[in-house]
A and B are shown apart, each in its own frame.
Chain A
Amino acid sequence: MKQLESSYATIEASAIGGDAAIPDESEKASRLEVWAYRLSQWLRSPRPYLMLLGFALFIGFWYLATEVWKLPRFVQMPGPTTVISEWLSPDPTYGLSIYSPEYYQHIWVSWRRVSIAFVLATVTGVPLGLFLGWSQPFKEYVFPVFELLRPIPPLAWVPLAIIMFEGSETPIIFLTFLASFYATTLNTMLGAESIDVSFVRAAYCLGAKRRQVFWHVVVPGAMPFIFTGLQISVGVAWFSLVAGEMVSGQYGLGYLINTSYTMVQYPTMVIGMFTLGVVGYLTSAGVRILGNYMMQWRASELAIGGNK
């Protein structure tokens, strides 16, 4: 980690030197070292401990409200000990825990629907957003329609989705797709519009044609916004997935939550909710990691204070 600090220091120091003395490749910190350095810094900072404290406070309040004080609104709510013992039990009261294959079936079905919807939303939303941001006439045709459809919540689409599509799987994927698609398209469009005009001008100066400017400037320049959009997109996909699954289907976490409610299996219902939280967080983190990997130029830019 000393090495990392010193390699940055050398770069900075050589900035004002006449002939730039840049460290060799061998002196540069490897990705693993960077990762280990960040981890050790994180562990040394108060952040992980504050995070644990936050969780402890949350669970503590939940415990006190439901199991000790039995506050009025919390009477029906299962407490943390009930939920956790049910979740981890090999022989659960209501038939669902980490030991039952059915639990993973629910997760798998939901995850599969979100993945399909997310991929569809990405392959349609990113190109659409890029064209909206790149071509003013195209935007003038398409954007008003887009803005009219966007505020319609996925739940309002449920009846139409059931009429339009066969079976129970396609309508759910369609509903999940919708919200994702809006988030991805809108962010990509903003990304394409936010590109510093100097980059576009510089590319034209260097002899690029319009098409080349699109591929070399607009697409990579919009990338940070695209990935922000994809993170939002995967989050809202889980939102609207649950809306769809509560209406139809036989598996899935939304379905699980809804049936546990109607069958008065409240601990199972809470298990379904937390599982959604965990799986949703993991998918969102996955997208973020992929984004960071694809935009390493940006990590280094942010680390040393930007391109300005």
Chain B
Amino acid sequence: MTSEPAAAYVDSSLARPASSPAPKPAGSAKGQIRIEDVVKIYGSQATGIRAVDNCTFDVPAGKITVVVGPSGCGKTTLLNAIAGFHSISSGTIRLDDEVLCGPGRAKAEPGPDRIVVFQNGALFPWKTIIDNVAFGPMVQGRLNRKQANEKARIMLADAGLRNLEGNYPGEISSGMRRRVEIARALMNDPKVLLLDEPYRALDSLTKSVMHEALLQTFDRNQVTIFFITHDLEEAIFLGHRVVIMTTRPCRPKKIINVDIPHPRDYSVLTAKRFREYLDETVEAVHEEALKAFAAGERER
């Protein structure tokens, strides 16, 4: 959590002209998540379902880490543990030097240093766009309404969403709602953004626009991103690091570091190197998908 005085906070953010946002200096990135031996069992220790087992990997600071795996493999369980919605059974999750959850503390406290963007979107439909975006700093008591609105306008303008502020979420398209939701998250200067298949419900055209918008946002903010998906092209296009999960119980099967420099644009999709990464991922994921399918057959 940021504990800067409110006034200094506003000054630094308002000084930056909306049209040419300065990227944060490299090396200042914070928000490394370290997941160590995390186990999550639903039900009793002996007979319960092991959703996550001996899961260990790092989410490097200031990078995009994409987690892929078969449906129901436990990716979302992991995200919920980081966000503080679910407890874990054992293991430790750290954010930088702080222990979010671990021995003696089964459940992390949700907070504005780790903000989730939900699969179906969670903009409050009863608040206008600007009230949604200004919500975080206001409830935290960091900014008053006027300051929060001013900052929200800048965030919206940065995201290419001018003239929307008076609308309700129901009045704008689902693609725009996702972008507003990311702007709402970034209002709080989070260390980590946790995205749980945020573009799943979008059509592929909108999705491609969303990807580029997300990458632009990332290039501006250099926030750590933890992104869950089962769209492999999306995973490699967005990620610095792609973590392929085994089917239930969930643990990393393979970690691929995607060595394609950022900023990326859509021409990357046809590059030879991109296809090679994709082939590698497909192979690993397909194996797990078959296992998940077989397990599903057996349950029936």
Interface residue ranges, A against B (CB under 8 Å): 11-12, 14-20, 22-25, 196, 198-199, 201-209, 212, 216-217, 220-221, 223, 295-298, 300-304, 306-308
Pick the contact of B122: A15, A199, A216, A298 (CB < 8 A).
Answer: A199
Interface contact B168-A300, CB-CB below 8 Å: yes
A304 to B163 Cα, complex, angstroms: 19
Cβ A201 vs Cβ B116 within 8 A: yes
Chain A residues lying within 8 Å of B88, measured Cβ to Cβ, are none
Measured between beta carbons, the chain A residues less than 8 angstroms from B164 are 20, 22
Residues in B whose Cβ lies below 8 Å from that of A25:
166
Q: Looking at the assembled complex, report how far the CB atom of B109 sits from the nearest CB atom of chain A, in whole angstroms.
A: 9
* A201 to B80 alpha-carbon distance, docked (Å): 10
Q: A221-B126, A298-B125, A301-B125 are in contact. Are A207 and B170 (CB under 8 A)?
A: no
- In the complex, 28 of the A-B residue pairs with CB atoms within 8 angstroms, ordered by the A residue number, are A11-B172, A15-B173, A16-B205, A17-B209, A23-B163, A24-B163, A198-B122, A201-B116, A202-B122, A202-B124, A203-B135, A204-B84, A206-B112, A206-B135, A206-B185, A207-B111, A216-B124, A220-B127, A223-B126, A297-B169, A298-B170, A300-B170, A301-B125, A301-B169, A306-B170, A307-B125, A307-B170, A307-B177
Contact size range, B: 35 or more
Give chain A nearest CB distance to B142 CB in angstroms.
8
The smallest beta-carbon distance between A302 and chain B, in angstroms, is 7
Q: Decide yes or no whether B42 CB sits under 8 A from chain A.
A: no
A308 and B125 CA atoms in complex are apart in Å by 10
Which residues of the other chain, A, contact B175 by a CB distance below 8 angstroms?
15-16
CA of A12 to CA of B140, assembled, Å: 34
Cβ-defined contact, B171 with A11, below 8 A: yes
Most buried by B among A17, A18, A201, A306: A201
Give the interface of B toward A (CB within 8 A): 83-85, 110-112, 114-116, 118, 120-128, 135-136, 139-140, 160-164, 166-177, 184-185, 188, 201, 205-206, 209, 213
Contact A207 B173 (CB under 8 A): no
Name the CB-closest residue of B to A202. B122
Residues of A with C-beta under 8 A to B110? 201, 204-205
Known: A11-B172, A16-B209, A20-B164. 14 other contacts (CB 8 A): A14-B173, A15-B175, A16-B205, A16-B206, A18-B209, A198-B121, A199-B124, A202-B116, A207-B111, A223-B126, A297-B169, A297-B170, A301-B168, A303-B170
With A199-B122, A201-B83, A303-B170 as known contacts, state yes or no: A20 contacts B114, CB within 8 Å: no
Counting from the closest, the 7 A-B pairs by CB-CB distance are: A301-B170, A15-B173, A202-B122, A206-B136, A220-B126, A207-B140, A198-B122
B184 to chain A, nearest CB (A): 7
